[in-house]
Copies of this chain bind each other. A is one copy, B any other.
Amino acid sequence: MVSIEGIMPQLLEFRAQREWEQFHLPKELVAAISIEASELQELFLWRERESPDLVKQDQHRMDLIRDEVADVLIYLLFLSHDLDIDLPVAIKQKLDKNRTKYPAEEYRGKFREP
């Protein structure tokens, strides 16, 4: 069983073998994350707001979704590596902020206004 972080060495090797560090400037990586996120979103365009179970029934579409999710995450991992961002720590700190910003009693069953 491999963790997300455990794949980082393979990602860095893949990049080094192609000498792509020169293209992977932070500004480019955040653009790439956004572009891949849009490709992921495209797989849901024009469709109703399906339940997870309904989405999961279409194996072909799930393969496409899985690939786009991986693309977003790969660029996110490169960015975090290059900027020394500790992802578990970053998530926990953001979660703490969200707990304060959206008290459970006040926001129960209400979506947060963007």
Interface residues, chain A, with chain B CB atoms under 8 Å away? 1-7, 10-11, 14, 17-20, 22-23, 25-28, 30-35, 37-52, 55-56, 62, 65-67, 69-74, 76-77, 79-80, 82-85, 87-88, 90-95, 97-99, 102, 104, 107-109, 111-112, 114
Contact = CB atoms under 8 A, between A and B. Distances in A.
Contacts of A88: 1-4, 6-7
Number of copies: 4
Given A4-B87, A18-B102, A69-B85, 15 more contacts: A7-B95, A14-B95, A17-B108, A18-B108, A25-B52, A27-B48, A28-B49, A31-B41, A32-B45, A43-B114, A65-B85, A66-B85, A66-B93, A67-B93, A70-B95
Contacts of A65: 83, 85
